[in-house]
Amino acid sequence: MMKRTIVTLPGDGIGRVVLEETIRVLDAAGFDANYVEGDIGWEFWKNEGNPLPERTIKLLAKHKVALFGAITSKPKDAAAEALDPALRNNGLVYSSPIVNLRQYFNLDICMRPCHTYKGNPLNFIRRAANGGIEEPVVDVIIFRQNTEGLYSGIEWSDPPEEVYQALMTHPKFAKNFANTPKKEISISSRIFTKKATERILRAAFDYAKQYGYKSVTVCEKPNVIRETSGMMYKMAQQMQKSYFHDIELWNTNIDAQMMWLTKNPENYGVIVAGNLFGDIISDGFAGLIGGLGFACSAQFNPDSGIGVFEPTHGSAPKYAGYPLSIVNPIAMIESACMMLNFINENELSEKIRRAVSQVIEEGNVRTYDMMKMHGSPDLVKKGAASTSEMAGAVIAKL
Ligand code: NAI
Ligand code: MG
């Protein structure tokens, strides 16, 4: 078989170190691949006016599979100020390269698993009925629609006249906003299409069936957001009735779900949601299994076979400049395991996952987050493992 080429997209801040340590783990596990680096992130925005250069898109189109670290994003005005003076006043507007990557390649299926690691000192615990302590086992996977909804970027402040006039045709807009000057109105639109909704629902149900989950939960807000959330839930009902009788369909509202996830997280299995609510709920569940140092994700298009695998954390700028990196590489390592599953290297994936679980369970090597320390450069002297030591501990188990 031809050796695989994996595109690496380190991005900004801690993205590079967690990615480098993850490649060390992949090498040690025996994954035989070439790596080519793609440019993405803040530097390329500042210097070229484009955080996702065309050459990076070509690289991913060619090799199809990428490991992505993290990027730094800043609000509109801060981004404009950061731009190289020679590029200013050219009408360049910053937009998130990772969101653009998702949309460009239609990476519409996002999977974010949250599983309890045995022995993780950060595991969620709660008070039991008898006054004791319970540690419920979380085994949840969130299917997040990754290209539409509130993140689709169709937004205006002081909207163009035709947009404003179109909104005025809606009785509720005319009633509640007609007295507000147009200049004082900002709009972010939430668009769901049937096609994309059907694809994320099917991905969730298929997964539940394949891995024996008893339920699929649609987590939206159909009683209030009637058109978009309502459509998703209705389509889920039809799909369950037609194809997935043996799987229960549950319906929770995002707000209530955020409460229930600490009351009874063990009751949930596969959860499916739109873009924003999927983002929120997956961070919520990640908090129960150790937080951002453990939260991994896959985003892909099953038709094209293009996939990007990334930890859900960002570039953590405050820890980026440390001479010895202290951040936890497990979220990135687990994202690489999802990549291995995507390309059918299931045994390798399992091997790395087992090694990670063993290291966590033994508890001899723990990064600062696992020791509930506040990040600072001298933590390694106080017993916290560095990023590299954690990766090394995983490698030792392989
Ligand atoms: P962040 O995820 O970068 O960091 C928040 C905090 O979480 C950190 O200060 C640290 O305490 C902890 N943390 C994050 N990763 C960790 C790890 N691997 N190990 C241990 N602790 C870890 O989020 P923040 O500070 O809100 O955003 C920083 C930048 O990252 C922003 O510019 C933001 O736009 C960007 N961002 C990028 C994402 C991406 O690339 N997909 C996702 C989220 C934020
Ligand atoms: Mg998020």
Q: What DSSP state is assigned to residue 139?
A: E
CA distance 333 to 294: 9
Minimum-distance ligand 1 atom for the alpha carbon of 68: 40
Choose the final residue of a domain: 171, 188, 205: 188
Q: What is the pLDDT of residue 362?
A: 98
List pLDDT tens digits, range 38-65.
999 999 999 999 999 999 999 999 999 9
Residue 281 and residue 140 share a domain: yes
Return the residue whose CA atom lies nearest to atom 38 of ligand 1.
314
Minimum-distance ligand 1 atom for the alpha carbon of 332: 18
Question: Could you tell me if residue 238 is inside a domain?
Answer: yes
Question: Could you tell me if residue 368 is inside a domain?
Answer: yes
Position 382: which residue type?
K
Residue 75 and residue 41 share a domain: yes
Residue 272 and residue 325 share a domain: no
Residue 4 and residue 95 share a domain: yes
Q: What is the pLDDT of residue 1?
A: 63
Ligand 1 centre from 312 Cα, in Å?
A: 8
Question: Could you tell me if residue 38 is inside a domain?
Answer: yes
Residue 268 and residue 132 share a domain: yes
Question: Could you tell me if residue 116 is inside a domain?
Answer: no
Position 227: which residue type?
E
Ligand nearest to the CA of 331: 1
Return the residue whose CA atom lies nearest to atom 9 of ligand 1.
316
* CA-based nearest residue to 47, from 93, 85, 98, 101: 85
Q: Are strands 296-301 and 109-115 parallel, antiparallel or unpaired?
A: antiparallel
Backbone angles phi, psi at 272, to 5 degrees: -130, 140
Question: Could you tell me if residue 278 is inside a domain?
Answer: yes
Residue 137 and residue 272 share a domain: yes
Contact assessment for residue 116 and residue 123, using Cβ atoms and an 8 Å cutoff: yes
Question: Could you tell me if residue 129 is inside a domain?
Answer: yes
Return the residue whose CA atom lies nearest to atom 44 of ligand 1.
314
Residue 145 and residue 253 share a domain: yes
Residue 197 and residue 309 share a domain: no
- Domain range for 160 is 155-188
Residue 262 and residue 336 share a domain: no
Residue 96 and residue 144 share a domain: no
Q: Which two tokens stand for residue 250?
A: 């549950």
Question: Count of domains in the chain?
Answer: 3
Q: How many CB atoms are closer than 10 A to CB 172?
A: 8
Ligand nearest to the CA of 311: 1
Ligand 2 centre from 312 Cα, in Å?
A: 6
Burial (CB count within 10 angstroms: exposed 0-12, middle 13-18, buried 19+), residue 89: exposed
Return the residue whose CA atom lies nearest to atom 27 of ligand 1.
314
Ligand nearest to the CA of 22: 1
Q: What is the pLDDT of residue 87?
A: 93
Residue 7 and residue 97 share a domain: yes
List Cα–Cα distances, 262 to 279, 302, 398, in angstroms.
17, 33, 34
Return the residue whose CA atom lies nearest to atom 43 of ligand 1.
314
Residue 30 and residue 143 share a domain: no
Return the residue whose CA atom lies nearest to atom 8 of ligand 1.
316
Ligand 1 centre from 66 Cα, in Å?
A: 20
Ligand 1: lining residues by beta carbon, under 6 Å:
18, 70-73, 98, 292-293, 310, 313-318, 327-328, 331, 369, 375
> pLDDT (tens digit, 0 to 9) for every residue of the chain, 398 residues total?
678 999 999 999 999 999 999 999 999 999 999 999 999 999 999 999 999 999 999 999 999 999 999 999 998 889 999 999 999 888 899 989 998 999 999 999 999 999 999 999 999 999 999 999 999 999 999 999 999 999 988 999 999 999 999 999 999 999 999 999 999 999 999 999 999 999 999 999 999 999 999 999 999 999 999 999 999 999 999 999 999 999 999 999 999 999 999 899 999 999 999 999 999 999 999 999 999 999 999 999 999 999 999 999 999 999 998 999 999 999 999 999 999 999 999 999 999 999 999 999 999 999 999 999 998 888 888 999 999 999 999 999 99
CA distance 278 to 275: 5
CA distance 359 to 294: 13
**CATH at 254:** 3.40.718.10
Ranges of H-type helices in the chain: 15-29, 42-48, 54-63, 76-82, 97-104, 161-168, 171-177, 194-211, 228-243, 254-263, 275-288, 317-320, 330-342, 346-362, 387-397
Place of tokens 């509202």: 253
List pLDDT tens digits, range 149-191.
999 889 999 999 999 999 999 999 999 999 999 999 999 999 9
Q: What is the pLDDT of residue 377?
A: 87
Residues facing 298 on adjacent strands: 111, 309
